[in-house]
Amino acid sequence: MSDLSAVKAALKNQAVETPSWAYGNSGTRFKVFAQAGVPRTPFEKLDDAATVHEFTGVTPAVSLHIPWDRVEDYAALAGYAGERGLRLGAVNSNTFQDDDYALGSICHPEASVRRKAVAHLLECVDILDATGSRNLKLWFADGTNYPGQDDIRERQDRLAEALQTVYARLGDDQRMLLEYKFFEPAFYATDVPDWGTAYAHCLKLGPKAQVVVDTGHHAPGTNIEFIVATLLREEKLGAFDFNSRFYADDDLMAGAADPFQLFRIMYEVVRGGGLTADVAFMLDQCHNIEAKIPAIIRSVMNVQEATAKALLVDRDALTAAQRSGDVLGANAVLMDAYNTDVRPLLAEVRTELGLDPDPVSAYHRSGRAAKTAAERVGGQQAGWGA
């Protein structure tokens, strides 16, 4: 796309969903660091998400995590989101923080534990009904630590059966987003370790089941953009969990570790029609040592910059170079777009949206951080290590 007004329109329409857990305290398994002014309730997490939306203009939805965001009345939570100019997005299940799940949840060898896990997933669909959100996002910590610990194939059968039960409960407009992760917390065999496994289950389940690509969940060197291109081609790409990592899944700010990789991914999204298809663009991050709201704003800006560069690729020139076998020419077209400084373009887009062109500075100037720190005492842990 080289028509600048079309590029700007696409950037204005982009929506990035922020995760409720990124607003709470978090840490590693060694230590959770408390920060001043973090939200004490799911409602206050929405207040912080509204702040991010106020400064970025492109983050209207918030993903929930159950039970971390458990409330009495989910319709009231959705109503509160509406009052703050937001909507509730994906509901994330949690079948990994209960003693019963030491050997797995829906893949556990005992039927009673599997039933408990499935009941939780069904509760999450009830929450979708109450909030009006569409996306049930499933990530399973299931797996084994030692060869021989359990039957790999039978665990796949248990997984398929549980997913089928939940799939059957989905409403017409709801969908199941299945996330994979190549290792951790299981050290030997993870039950949904890669896109192939997630894809195979989703394909059998039907059109309401799609794959989530969490950018942090791949082995080093994995060509994630190839996975994205393939899933889009198969109409099975449901969502992204954007974050970055240097080693394992460390949920750093999207675009912080490898902005070039994020650009290559966004190019395949643009190329495959993913910007206008039904793909949810979500962040899945934790801000353990940095200030949370500015980190989330920065992450959103990083996604926007990668998107802008992807939109600027001269597709006609690229196709011509590719078809004529001009290896260096084709690579140069892509690199020209990547090496463009899109910050002035995005500043213009923000000004046209009535926003400050520099969201991070505007947030700092607003004095919001000091105000909320004074108002809120005793902030909530996001859930990790809770």
Q: Which two tokens stand for residue 72?
A: 């009495």
CB of 63 to ligand PSV, least distance (A): 8
Q: Which is nearer to ligand PSV, 97 or 319 (CB)?
A: 97
Nearest CB to ligand PSV, comparing residues 8 and 292: 292
Which does residue 92 touch among Mn ion, ligand PSV, none (CB within 5 to 8 A, set by kind)?
ligand PSV
Q: How far is the CB of 323 from Mn ion (least distance, A)?
A: 37
**78-86, 105-113, 236-244, 349-357 -> range binding Mn ion (CB under 5 A):** 236-244
- Using alpha carbons, select from 60, 125, 54, 55 the residue that is nearest to residue 93: 125
Least distance (Å) between residue 137 CB and Mn ion: 8
Examine residue 241 and tell whether it contacts Mn ion (CB under 5 A): yes
Footprint (CB under 6 A) of ligand PSV, residues 329-358: none
Count of positions on this chain that bind ligand PSV (CB under 6 A): 10
Least CB distance to Mn ion at residue 249 (A)? 4
Residue (80 or 240) nearer to ligand PSV, CB: 240
Instruction: State both tokens at 380.
Output: 């909530």
Residue corresponding to tokens 């923080």: 97
Tell the smallest beta-carbon distance from residue 249 to ligand PSV (Å): 5
Contact between 17 and Mn ion by CB under 5 A: the answer reads no
Residue closer to ligand PSV, measured from CB, 131 or 372: 131
149 Cβ neighbours under 8 A, 6+ residues apart:
188
* Min dist. Cβ of residue 296 to ligand PSV (A): 15
Q: Is residue 142 within the footprint of ligand PSV (CB under 6 A)? A: no
Does 245 engage in binding with ligand PSV (CB under 6 A)?
no
HEC-encoded secondary structure of 134-152: CEEEECCCCEECCCCCCCH
Q: Is 225 in the site for ligand PSV (CB under 6 A)?
A: no
Which residues 165-224 are close enough to bind Mn ion by CB under 5 A?
Answer: 214
One of 92, 131, 244, 302 touching ligand PSV (CB under 6 A): 92
| Minimum CB distance to ligand PSV smaller for 10 or for 228 | 228
In the complex, the smallest distance separating the C-beta of residue 170 from ligand PSV, rounded to whole angstroms, is 19
> Nearest approach, Cβ of 93 to ligand PSV (angstroms)?
8
With CB under 5 A as the contact rule, which of the stretches 266-274, 276-284, 309-317, 337-345 interacts with Mn ion? 276-284
Distance CA 120, CA 107 (A): 14
User: Which residue, chain included where needed, has tokens 């020419």?
Assistant: 329
- Per-residue H/E/C for the chain: CCCHHHHHHHHHHCCCEEEHHHHCEEECCCCEECCCCCCCCHHHHHHHHHHHHHHHCCCCEEEEECCCCCCCCHHHHHHHHHHCCCEEEEEECCCCCCHHHHHCCCCCCCHHHHHHHHHHHHHHHHHHHHHCCCEEEECCCCEECCCCCCCHHHHHHHHHHHHHHHHHHCCCCCEEEEECCCCCCCCCEECCCCHHHHHHHHHHHCCCEEEEEECCCCCCCCCHHHHHHHHHHCCCEEEEEECECCCCCCCECCCCCCHHHHHHHHHHHHHCCCCCCCCEEEECCCCCCCCHHHHHHHHHHHHHHHHHHHHHCCHHHHHHHHHCCCHHHHHHHHHHHHCCCCHHHHHHHHHHCCCCCCHHHHHHHHCHHHHHHHHCCCCCECECEC
Q: Per CB under 6 A, does 214 bind ligand PSV?
A: yes
The smaller minimum CB distance to ligand PSV, of residues 10 and 286, is found at 286
Query: What's the one-letter identity of residue 223?
Result: N
Determine, following the binding rule CB under 6 A, whether residue 179 of this chain makes contact with ligand PSV: yes
CB of 369 to Mn ion, least distance (A): 27
- Nearest distance, CB of residue 361 and ligand PSV, angstroms: 30
Tokens of 126: 């009830």
Applying CB under 6 A, among 69, 241, 305, 356 the residue interacting with ligand PSV is: 241
Q: Is residue 54 involved in binding ligand PSV (CB under 6 A)?
A: no
Q: Which residues bind ligand PSV (CB under 6 A)?
A: 65, 92, 139, 179, 181, 214, 241, 249, 251, 284
Q: Which residues bind Mn ion (CB under 5 A)?
A: 214, 241, 249, 284
